Structure 1
């Protein structure tokens, strides 16, 4: 009994001397990329909901500001800004950023006209088609290398919505797009009339992982480690399923 009382007294004194860990707020940039991120989406989208859950379990908060994609990335690189990173992003080789563990999966495919499906086996087979891409988006290593070298004909636009319209109008043969993004957009009033004309090509380009890109400095590494520890304590797949894979959304 005496030992138990002494232990309780020591704990109380320890609690007074060392206050509880302070809750901090991680500030990131993102873009309107439904259903993964967006200010008006439920829980601001699946990627943001997952990241917030990982931070909350670690006792911290998340604040996200939304910008066009190129600006969201640029702001995260500025040493004078409060932003320590941006998301959701695919992994790529860079010295500016380090990446969290996965915050979800992104099935990347090609939207095409149902009446004119693309036939290909290897990515190089796509060189005979003109593809729509979104400016400054990372696609796949092989495809991006072919685009840079000039062997893959592409037309770059500023949004997935524009690419969908161009495919429907026959201005490009197909466009690179996330499968879940396509299904979400084709349910919206402005694009719904195009849904019967379009489909995802039967062959995916990749089933990619999504990450948070943190600024490559001490503070960025600190927050990356906090997020990773939080991700290990939540069920990322279950959260993603609740927010993404419902109704008629198909990922394969």
Structure 2
């Protein structure tokens, strides 16, 4: 009887650790190739994975450490070539004069690392409203610890309901107290909505990531979640969830700009901000984002 219990425990241990074993093995052999053309010159860099950290040697003397997250299909450890957003951010940082190092973390931990000054950058970040509370220092705002770069892209934010729910269009912010709302811990969503969610008048359930937030919705733990529809569609497909089980409510809450959020606790942050903003301007003039997406469409068979 004792040996049977031991065997069962070993099988359970192997089953629960298998995804991590697979992930670790994948990370060891996975590299990311970053290629682009600027000012009639071709650039090529290789990103090397070490666990959940991806580092590029751009031949620069300085390094910029970025706390980021898995946000498919835009960016992630399992995305082909890291996703276009990772490629874009890496190119911006390299052209700004820094070797980028991306640390993939749960978003709440990434925010904490940035606010405390343990990394240079939190990205991608949405607009942060002035009243958004710090996740680290009680009584402070997030903008007392982070400063936003120029915007470099936009993505939509929507309310999403279960398909069986009676709600068929996006509610007004003032009526959110009628619902239980699912959010990802540490996310900004939109200034107007976040002010209501932070007021204490709304039932808010926090998830670790978008995948868990979707599960909260489908398991009737919340009435609505806040999310980018493309992220939810990607996760639903990968989890075998029928897209007909949820409903993207219209109109969109916002089309949110994406920023680099620089930690003001780092001594080099102002110089880094100047360099990154200059690099973003150059990238936008030469349509780097379109170029990177076009390349990934060619090299990644399943790229959307």
Q: Does 1:230 align with 2:279?
A: yes
Q: Which runs of 5+ in 1 are unaligned?
A: 1-20
Counterpart in the other structure of 1:17? none
1:39, distance to aligned residue in structure 2 (A) = 2.2
**Alignment match, 2:81:** 43
Match of 1:8 in 2: none
Counterparts of 1:67 and 1:22 in 2: how far apart (Å)? Answer: 25
1:111 & 1:120 partners in 2: Cα distance? Answer: 8
- Find the aligned partners of 2:200 and 2:115 in 1 and give their Cα distance: 28
Q: Which residue of 1 aligns with 2:156?
A: 107
Match of 1:181 in 2: 231
Could you tell me whether the CA contact under 8 Å between 1:50 and 1:103 is conserved in 2? no
Aligned residues: 224
Q: Is the counterpart of residue 61 in structure 1 residue 135 in structure 2?
A: no
1:67 deviates by 1.4
Say whether 1:78 aligns with 2:130: no
User: When you count strand as a share of all residues, which structure comes out higher?
Assistant: 2
2:206 corresponds to 1:206: no
Q: How has the CA–CA distance of structure 1 residues 121 and 32 changed in structure 2, closer, same or farther, with 3 Å as cutoff?
A: closer
Runs of 4+ in structure 1 over 4 Å off? 239-244, 246-249
The CA RMSD measured in Å over matched residues stands at: 2.7
* 1:87 Cα offset (Å): 0.8
Q: 1:239 to 1:89 in 2, by over 3 A?
A: farther
Match for residue 89 of structure 1 among 97, 113, 125: 125
On the 8 A contact 1:179/1:200 being kept in 2, the answer is yes
1:197 match: 245
Q: Tell me the CA shift for residue 75 of structure 1.
A: 1.7
Is there any run of 5+ residues in structure 2 with no aligned partner, and where? Answer: 1-58, 131-142
State the shift of 1:49 in Å.
Answer: 1.2
Larger relative contact order, structure 1 or 2 (CA cutoff 8 Å, min sep 6): 1
